[in-house]
A and B are shown apart, each in its own frame.
Chain A
């Protein structure tokens, strides 16, 4: 069965510092991996996605993520965090089950200190 683990419930970083959010997945085939961001009171916005090819993917807002098959990980990174990045971040794996189902992690809440 598919599953996604985000081990960090809450992370606090200073503005300008680098950021890495962890995501580990369990899936029996080649995964389709996504990172979504949810700003307070908002819906979910896609940051980036991985299907195949280059294991380092670039997304919006200066985010990137690296797929590491050997570690079953898809960690999200940003070299310099801005105060506006404060939000909740969700990692998800897409599965071919006859439909475009997404399986989400429990999320990581990011606080940015000025």
Chain B
């Protein structure tokens, strides 16, 4: 089954404790991205990657890091989480195209930073 998986699905942590949210896709997609969803703000892009070792900032990259060492994986790293990073996070992937291709979303990771 074609899918995007994220782990963990739920995470409660404390300020300053480094964490990683994993994202993996089995569709051989070149493009992957991370979004955060906050009430009243919709989804905002954090980082995206057009291929292995090619990443770039989205609209709200502060406080986040990413890496793309393998095509299928695109982890999101919070080096020193803060309470304002409490949010619902989505990973997405798609094949390349001029903005026209459907993005497939993972199930989401709900992060709470105390």
Interface residue ranges, A against B (CB under 8 Å): 4, 6, 9, 32, 34, 36, 42-46, 49, 51, 90, 92, 94-102, 104-107
Contacts and interface: CB of A to CB of B under 8 A. Distances in A.
A100 B107 contact: no
Contacts of B99: 32, 94-97, 100-102
* Cβ-closest 8 pairs across A and B: A94-B99, A104-B42, A106-B42, A96-B98, A44-B105, A104-B43, A43-B105, A43-B107
Contacts of A6: 42
Given A44-B105, A107-B42, A101 B98 contact: no
B74 interface: no
Contacts of B107: 42-43
B106 A99 contact: no
B42 A43 contact: no
Nearest to B41: A106
Nearest to B107: A43
B36 to A, nearest CB: 11
A49 B33 contact: no
A32 B40 contact: no
B42 A105 contact: yes
A102 B103 contact: yes
A102 B45 contact: yes
Contacts of B90: 43-44
